[in-house]
Amino acid sequence: MLLLSGSHSCSSLIQFKNSFSIAKDASWYCNDFAGLKSYPKTNSWKEGTDCCSWDGVTCDHLNAHVIALDLSCSWLYGNFPSNTTLFLLPHLQKLNLAYNDFNLSKIPSEFDRRHLFLDEINISSVNVHVFMNLSSSLRSLSLAGCVLYFSSCDLSEFPQILKGLKSLESLDLSCNRIEGKIPQRMKEVGNDSLTNYLNVSHNSLTEVEHFPWKNIISLDLSSNLIRGNLPIPASNISVFFISNNSFNGEVSSLICNATSLQILDLSHNNLSGTIPQRFGNLSNNLQFFNLKKNKFYGTIPPTFANGCQLSNFNLNGNLLEGPLTPSILIVKAIINSFNGEVSSLICNASFLRILDLSHNNLSGTIPPCFGSLSDSLEFLNLMKNKFYGTIPPTFAKGCNLSNFNLNGNLLEGPLTPSIFNCKGLEVLDLSNNKINDTFPHWLGSLPQLQVLVLKSNHMHGSLCVNSSKSSPFFSKIQIFDLSSNYFSGPLPVGYINNFKAIINLEKIGSTVSYMGVYGGRDCGFYMYSIGIVMKGQYMELVKIFTMWMIIDLSNNQFEGEIPKVFGKLNLLKGLNLSHNNLNGGIPTSIGNLTSLEWLDLSSNRLSGMIQLDW
């Protein structure tokens, strides 16, 4: 039975529900882009039941008045009624209609103080016109995502309705097509009380003349076309995003007056000069520091090593050099000119998840403590440096590594069997070193291993599988590259029979296109990379496509016939058996490889006729 004081409100909500139809596609943005779960909330709205218990409805428990309505991501489709029964909810304070499809209809202009004393309204959508007279008492307004993929929203400039909202604390105008510069009238918004949040990212802004709000805490200007010098944010700001713009010049040390700064993203601009030494003083507060893809040179401020709390530190694609500062949690220092040895102090970062020091001039031995970091470390990439000596001998039990890349160094000696402790290892690239060992058969028992690249080392011996081994070897392998070594004997029939992922017996089950790990806001999905020969050309793949299936056993001393079992590998994209001592004919089963894009059997002692049934 309905609560007496709420019966009128319940009836109004039922009428509002009946104004729309339910269509899953109306909330596609939630599932595909926003990472939000969508479902038809109004399905729980049943006549004869208490509306305070309905999904998305919040009531004042004292008198059962409806005070908040959250119908975001609710599959609502249809024209928004100009005489909506929401006007009959006099106590409504918060309204969230985000991510539905109102069929390009207008939100009624009557949403003002004459009808509702709203504290907060969210009408984020991908398909809605916005024309409203808003109450000056409104504290939060979100128009995010209005034209993320549609240009019919009419938000090509800062809306006139914002002028005079003296109590506004939070404003989100992201993902529109607003052009030009932030107008003078916007500085009147909130009357300097816009103290929480301003997001104008993903627009076409070109200029920020003066920083308009002195009390702002979170500012996002990212993904615009803004050029000129970097604006100096308010001293109490904690979040400052200006990535993907055209800011240039040096970074003023005045930015270091923002002693509450926790997130600073200056990536993908044209900023230059040295990194201000005073940045080191911010490291006690900073959690996210991104200078990726600029033109900074010189060295990292040494004081970053003192009490640094960074969870993401990205210097990728600059001109930095000198020694590498330790004691950081996530390091990306790719494509710079860092040199010298890596200090073992970096191992004090006990929560290190991603360590990418690739494409530098680092030398010396790899600190042995890297092995004990592996219980937290997921991604270790030391590719293209000058490290020598042996691979760290001890990887801790419970090793959490999923990617281990030492390609292009001067490492030697045997492989350490303790890598077997890394049960989640997906990619192992030890190519282009001087590793001297027989084939590490024990790698075949790693349950998640998908990519094994051992090319261009001093590895030798046979690849015959011990028949007593009962567990399937390399069942998830997709890329198997042993080229340019000294392996001998017959081709590894036992392994090939177990390549279930290539035989299409082992379901890959990946929901992404490329192999990698998730590494935070900046990098999002941090993709694995390897070096490999494809169609006769060496390529450094910055992405590994999840559907690539490649076997390269070329430039070894394999002998005997090509086994028929290769014909079972029906997902194989590339096969290279060239430059061996193989003899006999080409098995007709090779003709079963309908997914094959390149095949190289050259420089062997093959004979007979080519009889492939393609």
pLDDT band at 113 (very low <50, low <70, confident <90, very high): very low
More confident residue, 372 or 362: 362
Q: Is 539 exposed, middle or buried (0-12, 13-18, 19+ CB in 10 A)?
A: exposed
For residue 27, report the phi and psi dihedrals to the nearest 5 degrees: -120, 30
Mean pLDDT of the chain: 79
Q: Both tokens of residue 222?
A: 């990212």
Tokens 């990726």: give the residue.
292
For residue 488, report the phi and psi dihedrals to the nearest 5 degrees: -140, 180
Angle at CA of residue 290, ends 288 and 295, nearest 5°: 160
The residues, ordered by sequence, that sit 6+ positions from 94 with a Cβ below 8 Å of its Cβ are 58, 67, 68, 69, 70, 118, 119, 120, 121
More confident residue, 605 or 372: 605
Q: What is the pLDDT of residues 464-481, one digit of tens each?
A: 876 545 456 899 999 999
Q: What is the pLDDT of residues 546-563, one digit of tens each?
A: 778 899 999 999 999 999
The predicted pLDDT at position 189 comes to: 62
Q: Both tokens of residue 613?
A: 């049934």
Instruction: For residue 178, give Cα distances in angstroms to 59, 190, 223.
Output: 37, 20, 12
Q: What is the pLDDT of residues 495-529, one digit of tens each?
A: 999 999 998 876 655 555 667 665 544 445 566 77
Report CA Rg, the chain: 30
Please tell me the distance from the alpha carbon of residue 47 to that of residue 396, in angstroms, as a whole number.
61
Please tell me the distance from the alpha carbon of residue 321 to that of residue 300, in angstroms, as a whole number.
8
Instruction: For residue 163, give Cα distances in angstroms to 87, 123, 168, 181, 204.
Output: 24, 18, 10, 16, 21
Kindly state the average pLDDT of the residues 188-214.
73
**199: pLDDT strictly greater than 50:** yes
Kindly state the average pLDDT of the residues 607-613.
73
Three-state secondary structure call for residue 493: helix
CA nearest to 338, candidates 363, 314, 302, 306: 363
pTM, full prediction: 0.61
**311: pLDDT strictly greater than 70:** no
Looking at residue 296, its amino acid is F
The predicted pLDDT at position 215 comes to: 75
Kindly state the average pLDDT of the residues 434-443.
93
The predicted pLDDT at position 437 comes to: 94
**164: pLDDT strictly greater than 50:** yes
**346: pLDDT strictly greater than 90:** no
**2: pLDDT strictly greater than 50:** no
The predicted pLDDT at position 152 comes to: 36
Residue 2 near residue 48 (C-beta atoms within 8 A)? yes
Q: State which of 31-40, 119-128, 144-153, 229-238 shows the largest mean pLDDT.
A: 229-238
Please tell me the distance from the alpha carbon of residue 190 to that of residue 440, in angstroms, as a whole number.
66
More confident residue, 264 or 171: 264
581, containing H or E segment: strand 581-584
Given the DSSP bridges, would you call strands 76-77 and 21-22 parallel, antiparallel or unpaired? antiparallel
The predicted pLDDT at position 386 comes to: 94
Please tell me the distance from the alpha carbon of residue 12 to that of residue 23, in angstroms, as a whole number.
22
280, containing H or E segment: helix 279-282
Q: What is the pLDDT of residues 258-305, one digit of tens each?
A: 888 888 899 999 999 988 887 777 767 877 888 888 998 888 777 665
